[in-house]
Amino acid sequence: METYQTGQHFISASRFGVLCLQRCSSTRLGCNKWLLDFPVLCIGEEQPKNCFTELQVLKGHFDIVRFLVQIDDFRCASAGDDGLVLVWNVETGERLQELRGHSQQITAITTITCKNEVTLNTSLITASSDRSLSLWDPDTGNRVQTISDLHSSVKCLLVLERLCVWLSGGEELCVWNRDFQLQCQRPNHRITALIELPKNYIAAAMDKKISKISADSSLSVAEIRCLSDHQDQIRALINVNDGLFASGSHMGELILWNATEWNLLAYEHILWEESQDYNQTEIRMGAPKPSEMSIQHLTTNGNLILAAVGSGLYVYSVQTRSVVAYRKVAHDSNVLHTMLLSDCELMSCSEDGSVRMWEIQDLPLPAEPASSGFFGMWSFGRSNKQSGPPSKKVIDIPNIRMLELTGDLIGHSGAVQMFVSFTEKGLVTCSADHLLILWKNGERQSRLRSLALFQKLEERGGL
């Protein structure tokens, strides 16, 4: 959705081809909705709640950086299309290791932890388009294990700590043990995402279906059940809590599943349809683009699910089974990655090159009904597929809250692909402009530097 301001009028074009023309000084009646939909997204230069007042630009990649994984509380690894994996010290911004070996872009990366008697050893598993898998030691930079000549490139990785195995998904599903020995293999899948479910089950997203696969201690994989409620390609699959998992599809369907019962709990079709408003001129233009409602990313903290839908953000409450807050146009372009920092704080990054921080706030005027819902919402007791276009059923949600922009981080000149938060130590973002940026709290850094200064002063016994 794009908006333009021409003098005193806003023109907005929605994905349904609705061109809305509205005066800026429109009536209070229409204003409510207006405020929710089209707030001033550029919050300006005054950002008192934004604590990231220092940055470090980390260079080293030669192509788009797509993945970031946290290794421990001060290290992270970045990987991207140049096939390089770089290990960084987040505290200092130093590049600790450079893991070279893949000739093509990295398609998946994850950490695997080995418990020794004393220590926890974290290693990295990477998968690349050159159809190889590698195990790296991030302390030494050594390539500990490698497997090449796979039949296809691996799209996703899942480590099952309990069973001491890990899975790779792509055209085929393979189970490996820690020593990189193939345990078993199932061909003819197109797995895009894998999550672990209770009782040694695994959910694998394959195109429009979700397969329940048992991976028991005998280390064999068998497909138990197949859920095919999605009408489009599944883009995101996450564990919500012990009993629930969620999936999001390309056309904006968000489905909440029961992990044990293996049935559909809630079906939410997020679409932005403008409700009939009074003083708007509507011109219907063409068909909607599905990418604008595609669920790019899902995150959860157990209570809330944050969905990145097109360039918007939706916060879905698991308890109430409803959207509690949303922002249809949170970014200028598609949102690529999100994170829930707490129950009321979240963060998102987008193709427009910015990272934004949001706060879920109560509406300033709670008495006034907030919105009449711009998304359809259905609950199904059954798991059968819904046919036909969903009927519009508007449910009033009185306690919908507001997503307020509290700060943005501008630094990247390309799409921000991902970010990892190290809480008070900072935030690492990676981007298509080949850079990583380490955002830090300037005051904290200054305090640390002072500490170091006085330590050095003491060591040297004076200036």
Partner 1 sequence: MIGSPDVVAFAKEDEYGQTSPDPWPLPEEFSVPLYPLADSNPWAKTSYAKFTKDFILISEFSEQVGPQPLLTIPDDPKVCGTFDLNYFSLRIMSVDYQASFVGHPPGTGYPRLSFVEDSRVVLGDSKEGAFAYVHHLTLYDLEARGFVRPFCMAYVAADEKKIMLQFQELSLRFSQASECLKAGNRRAFAKELQRKLRDLEYTHSVLQREEGLQREAGPQSMYSAHAVEKANELANVEKSIFEHRDLLKQISSYHRRPRRDPHAVTCQKCVDECLSECEELLNKYAKIAYPCGYSEKAGKGEDGQGHPRGQGEDDDDDEEEGVKRKLSYTPQLIKAKSAKCFDKRLKTLQELCDKTFYEATVALLKETERSFRGDLCYLYTRRLDKALQRKQRVTAFLFEEDLSDDDEDELGTLRPFCAVNHAVDNYVLLNPPPIVLTPEPHELDALERPEHLDPASETSVTQESELGLGESHLESSPSDQTLETQESSEETKGSFSSDKSGVGLAEMQQGLVSMKSEAPDPDSDLTPDPNHNLERESSSEEMETTAGEDEGETGGHQTPVSLLEVVSELEANREEECEGVSGSELLAPIDTACCMAQEGFLYEASAPEAVPRLCQNSHLQPSQTLVVNQEPQALLPLQDDYTVGSPCSESPVTGLELPSGLLGDAVSRTSAEDGSDCTMSASTGSDQTASPLGYGAVVTLRQRKKAGQGALRFVRQYPFAIQALWCLLSGRTLVVLGADEGRVRRLVAALALFVPAPGKCGERVQAWLSCPFTLTDLQRWKLIGLQRVASPLGSSMLYSLSRYSRYISILDADQTTLRCPPYRGQLLTNIADHRTYIRRGSTYFLHLQSTLCHLAAKAFLFTFTHHLHLPVSATEGPEVVESRRRCFLQEQLGLGEEDSQILLYLSQLITQQYLQPNGSSAAAPSFSFNYTTSILYKI
46 forms part of the interface with partner 1 (CB under 8 A): yes
Residue ranges with strand state E in 34-131 = 52-58, 65-70, 75-80, 85-89, 95-99, 106-115, 120-128
Out of 31, 182, 283, 451, name the contact with partner 1 by CB under 8 A: 451
Tell me whether residue 243 or residue 411 sits nearer to partner 1 (CB atom): 411
Out of 4, 25, 44, 368, name the contact with partner 1 by CB under 8 A: 44
Beta-ladder partners of 431: 416
Out of 8, 27, 92, 148, name the contact with partner 1 by CB under 8 A: 92
Instruction: Scan residues 195-254 and list those touching partner 1 (CB under 8 A).
Output: none
Tell me whether residue 46 or residue 149 sits nearer to partner 1 (CB atom): 46
Instruction: Scan residues 377-436 and list those touching partner 1 (CB under 8 A).
Output: 407, 410-413, 435
Tell me whether residue 141 or residue 407 sits nearer to partner 1 (CB atom): 407
Tell me whether residue 179 or residue 424 sits nearer to partner 1 (CB atom): 424
Tokens of 397: 């949600």
Task: Give the nearest distance from C-beta 452 to partner 1 in angstroms.
Answer: 6
Tokens of 60: 């080293």
Alpha carbon distance 101, 148 (integer Å)? 11
Per-residue buried b or exposed e for 320-330, using 16+ beta carbons within 10 Å of the residue's own CB: eebbbbbbbbb
Out of 3, 30, 54, 143, name the contact with partner 1 by CB under 8 A: 54
Alpha carbon distance 19, 23 (integer Å)? 13
Residues composing the chain: 463
Tell me whether residue 320 or residue 455 sits nearer to partner 1 (CB atom): 455
Out of 7, 48, 398, 461, name the contact with partner 1 by CB under 8 A: 48
Q: Which stretch binds partner 1 (CB under 8 A): 87-95, 114-122, 153-161, 263-271?
A: 87-95
Residue 376: its H or E element: strand 376-378
347 forms part of the interface with partner 1 (CB under 8 A): no
Tokens of 194: 């894998």
95 forms part of the interface with partner 1 (CB under 8 A): yes
Contacts of 293 (CB under 8 A, 6+ apart): 15, 251, 252, 270, 271, 272, 309, 310
Q: How many residues bind partner 1 (CB under 8 A)?
A: 41
Tokens of 379: 């609950």
Tell me whether residue 96 or residue 394 sits nearer to partner 1 (CB atom): 96
Alpha carbon distance 339, 331 (integer Å)? 15
Out of 230, 328, 356, 440, name the contact with partner 1 by CB under 8 A: 440
Q: List for the chain the helix, strand, coil content (%; round to 5).
A: 10, 50, 45
- Binding positions for partner 1, rule: CB under 8 A: 44-48, 50, 53-59, 89, 92-95, 407, 410-413, 435, 437-438, 440, 442-443, 445-447, 449-454, 456-457, 463
